[in-house]
Structure 1
């Protein structure tokens, strides 16, 4: 089914008007653009799984009877791995149900979750999961300030040539900007050179043209100040990386080699001067080949996830901890560190863009449980 179903499905009262194919295609495109690419992929995957299950079990997928949807949820909840663990988390079942809701609504049918049987089935599954302690929500381990310092110091220490320098400059900028800006990995991946401005008072101004909570693209600016130490200064890391980007875009690999071989030692701030000119719409963070060549496409969210793990591995982090790290570790680390440093929820929300303090409390409960906790004042 395509988003055009919103104009071709059942309607209430009015007859469907005849419109030119070009207009219908434009409507379909607008409907598709109303959701992020990630949401569309998730809904599409969830819908395909449901239609395949219905075909296998002899059920009608659209419109799906409430009993069919309830049976689908129970079947998924009862699926276990080879070692007897639940295959799917309760949150996964909720995501699949959201996909069913979407495809039913776009076809003009009531969403399955609105039916009492379906809602009660999912609620009962959640209770069963909670009572059995199955499939707890897997949180990415946060990277704190001490971790970020260690990762960037190790990256610089391990450089053995100009190609290593290119990778170090990109990864250091990724770590420091991602942490200080509390960015999601998708937000880092979407950054273009035009989005970052070196401000003489504030450090960096980074404009997010669209975020998870701003799908209509009103935009927001986050400030990343310069720090006392040049080694962990986000504006310095940005300047060092943009020097590489500008050199490569202007003269390719040879220009980058000349830049890095003739560079001054990085022993003081470099964010006090100017920033090299870059193409406005060029992606800021890009893939880098083993020979040091920069790609022309933006670094993906999955690649950012792998970059963080790779830097932790090279810094000799425990393998179990590395497995808990990922793209969200930078954002989770900012929130956790801020709580540990005594910041209140509303100050943290200014940087993270969270809409309610309740979302932040999860980080405090899991990663900073002693902050503002009466247990430290009871006098034992």
Structure 2
């Protein structure tokens, strides 16, 4: 059985279980539902991962990628892409000619190693392809799980932590906002940055889904109803689905809507030459706006769309907000996902770090 879970065509998708007898029309419907239930970013990343697996398998092992994949092939993939200690330093098993061929096939941007996060993503996609077909999953074997556990420990001992975007806490955010003038683009960017940050650090997909229909006026502000999110895939009705847009964020949003003349549809839109307000922004545009404004503000560091989310949580921790209140705004489902940023923000104001403050100095001679 050749692997075709996401295929080359953008409308292909994995069917949940090869043993299920589904008619052609029903199969098309299931594929449509799978596509609609996944974000464009997720679909694109899964297609890229499967294409890489197929190219690597053909070039490295000399055979088409067929499911189920043996655990030995997965272990070879790990050895090829994860750095391990060698007499000459950190080494990888991927042959240079295979590496060059993967780049030539345009399934890899450049020769060299992957980040550990990329390797883990590739493995996660392969694992899901097996699970959806009800096949023995090599990624869940003890051998693969043991190796991955040792890999994480080895990288941690080397001090190689997962890369994170710098957090846009209040001070750097203010510098970004200062670059936004009163042109249409400036008004839009100011409104977008404040909307995303002040409403709880919205994800970029959530920002571009804001419309005049799901963002209603309430008092002197707005309420954005988040009907679907990463942690609420089913769109269940929850009390914390409603995110407040108040204060400066509401004022900036009012100014943008008035200047752009938006009365229905997407709130955040492209501004074309001549001041033409066009179609809604895509998720990638949020990242572009943050990076552009950070560069204009002269900020040093690596900033992206996620910087707004991590910045909100870090600043909230710095100002002493309770974790539960923060999670109600952000929509995090797991404490583990948010507590790191919260603790980082609160670290400098920790009372435990100031136990000696105010105590007599026990210096000799006193």
TM (normalized to structure 1)? 0.77
C-alpha RMSD over aligned residues: 2.6
Q: Deviations over 1:53-92 (max 9, x none)?
A: 111122544211001011101111137799xx98323222
Partner residue of 1:286?
Answer: 269
Contact 2:272 2:278 in 1 (8 A): yes
Distance 2:16 2:340 in 1: 41
Aligned pair 1:39/2:42, yes or no?
yes
Aligned pair 1:302/2:284, yes or no?
yes
Partner residue of 2:223?
Answer: 205
Aligned pair 1:180/2:180, yes or no?
no
Partner residue of 1:67?
Answer: 72
Partner residue of 2:305?
Answer: 327
Contact 1:142 1:333 in 2 (8 A): yes
Aligned pair 1:375/2:353, yes or no?
yes
Matches within 5 A, 1:129-144: 129-134=155-160, 136-144=161-169
Distance 1:129 1:8 in 2: 36
Alignment length (residue pairs) = 320
Which of 80, 92, 97 is the matching residue for 2:118? 92
Distance 1:4 1:326 in 2: 30
Distance 1:373 1:33 in 2: 49
Partner residue of 2:170?
Answer: 145
Whose helix proportion is higher, 1 or 2? 1
Contact 1:179 1:330 in 2 (8 A): yes
Contact 2:316 2:326 in 1 (8 A): yes
Partner residue of 1:255?
Answer: none
1:145 Cα offset (Å): 2.4
Gaps of 5+ in 2: 6-11, 84-90, 97-110, 362-366
Contact 1:193 1:284 in 2 (8 A): yes
Partner residue of 1:225?
Answer: 246
1:154 Cα offset (Å): 3.7
The alignment partner of 1:294 has SS state of strand
The alignment partner of 1:213 has SS state of coil
Q: Deviations over 1:151-197 (max 9, x none)?
A: 334423xx5xxxxx101110110111111012111211222221211
1:299 Cα offset (Å): 1.3
Partner residue of 2:87?
Answer: none
Distance 1:71 1:176 in 2: 47
